[in-house]
């Protein structure tokens, strides 16, 4: 036999009680708070846009690539003095130095300096 007659059983249904009146663990409150903040951020227009590219590049101390330019890492071998000199040059100056060297070797295309 059940001796639960006349006694109220624990009821966790929020529609029968006031919203959030049932005790919940602290971590659940934090999760609820974070979800609500994210929902409000989405509702109010989302995360703010990052600053323009030119401003971000200027803050990093670099300049944007020009039309038809590309930046890439290439492995080269040479004496240590070569790398000391290359480290002192800007990326643009390194590219120009490489082009001059390829012209001297006859490996740079003659017609306008474009792709081979």
Report pLDDT for 61.
84
Q: Determine if the pTM surpasses 0.85.
A: no
Residue 82 to residues 2, 77, 111, Cα–Cα distance (Å)? 91, 9, 29
Residues 70 and 103: their CA atoms lie apart, in Å, by 19
CB 108 within 8 A of CB 98: no
Per-residue model confidence as pLDDT tens digits over 38-91:
888 777 776 677 888 888 888 888 888 889 999 898 899 999 999 999 999 988
DSSP 108: S
């Amino acid at each position: 036999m059940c001796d639960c007659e006349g006694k109220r059983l624990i009821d966790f249904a929020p529609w029968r009680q006031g919203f959030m009146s049932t005790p919940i663990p602290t971590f659940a409150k934090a999760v609820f708070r974070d979800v609500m903040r994210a929902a409000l951020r989405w509702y109010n227009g989302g995360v703010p846009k990052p600053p323009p590219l030119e401003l971000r590049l200027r803050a990093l101390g670099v300049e944007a690539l020009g039309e038809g330019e590309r930046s890439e890492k290439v492995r080269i071998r040479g004496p240590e003095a070569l790398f000391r000199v290359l480290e002192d040059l800007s990326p643009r100056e390194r590219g120009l130095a490489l082009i001059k060297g390829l012209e001297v070797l006859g490996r740079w295309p003659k017609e306008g300096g474009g792709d081979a």
